[in-house]
Amino acid sequence: MNLYDNFSKIYKKDYLKFSKNIADIFPFLIKNYIEKCDSILDLACGEGTFCRELTKKGFNVEGVDLSKGQIDNAKKKSFEENLNIKFYVQDIIKFKIDKKYDIITSWFDSLNYIIDKNNLNKVFENAYYMLNDDGVFMFDMNTIHGLITVWNDLPYYIFEDTKDLFEVHQSNYDYENNLAYMKISFFLRQGNNQWQKYEEEHVEKGYKKIEIKDLLTSVGFNEIYFYSSLNPLLPDLEESNRMYVVAIK
């Protein structure tokens, strides 16, 4: 079972705001980098919020994610909203098809989950391969500073407490290897007096900006831009919690 197959049971509104916000500014953002966008691929698309919101805006979007549970949610929600979106259940480290896209994206620090630099390089290679000439690769990552200050600021806290869900997060940081660990324990109500317990450990790797730039350059990207915010568009700062990256083929 994939990490997110259980987590998909509670992956809802509080986790979806980020993707929704990115989708809202996306049509204005891409005007800075590309003249025409006929096709988009979203890597690690989760339950498809970004894909669905962009499809509603008239874009042609596809999504890929390793979690079958998340993709099942994406297909279900797309069907309910009468949206025709193609989703793939695949590992983005290995995913490569003979199809070209104008823009490839990956949001909500999904790439931090790739803790091996060689595997991250493979994702960048695949994105480059599947982009049209002058295509754009856009993604975000938690910075090392962000993982230390945000993930590790509250080592233990209750994330949600409702009549049907109790969710607790515990986190710590490995400074030597730049790895952030978050143990998520949640209890879902199954009946009046019955609860089902689930536990998952999420691990994210903190990468330096120079590491990301070197990897993108090595696979062939010509122009690389770093930002600390997309709305408004702000330059990268030394102590930013998140880096937004735009790489042009």
Average pLDDT of span 74-97 = 97
Angstrom distance (rounded) from CA 241 to CA 150: 8
| 126: pLDDT strictly greater than 60 | yes
Q: How are beta strands 131-142 and 101-106 bridged, if at all?
A: parallel
* Alpha-carbon torsion angle 46, 69, 97, 28, nearest 10: -20
- Look up residue 193 and give its two tokens: 């007096």
Average pLDDT of span 158-175 = 84
Cβ–Cβ under 8 Å, residues 135 and 100: yes
Q: What is the C-alpha radius of gyration for the chain, rounded to an integer number of angstroms?
A: 18
| 10: pLDDT strictly greater than 70 | no
What domains are defined for the chain? 3-142+206-248 (3.40.50.150), 146-205 (2.20.25.110)
Q: Give tens-digit pLDDT for 229-246.
A: 999 999 988 789 999 999
- Look up residue 72 and give its two tokens: 């099942």
Residues 6 or more apart whose CB falls under 8 angstroms from that of 194 comprise none
Helical pair 209-219 and 117-130, crossing angle rounded to 10 deg = 50
Task: Band the pLDDT of 51: cuts 50, 70, 90.
Answer: very high
Residues in the chain: 249
What pTM was computed for the model? Answer: 0.90
- What pLDDT does 195 receive? 87
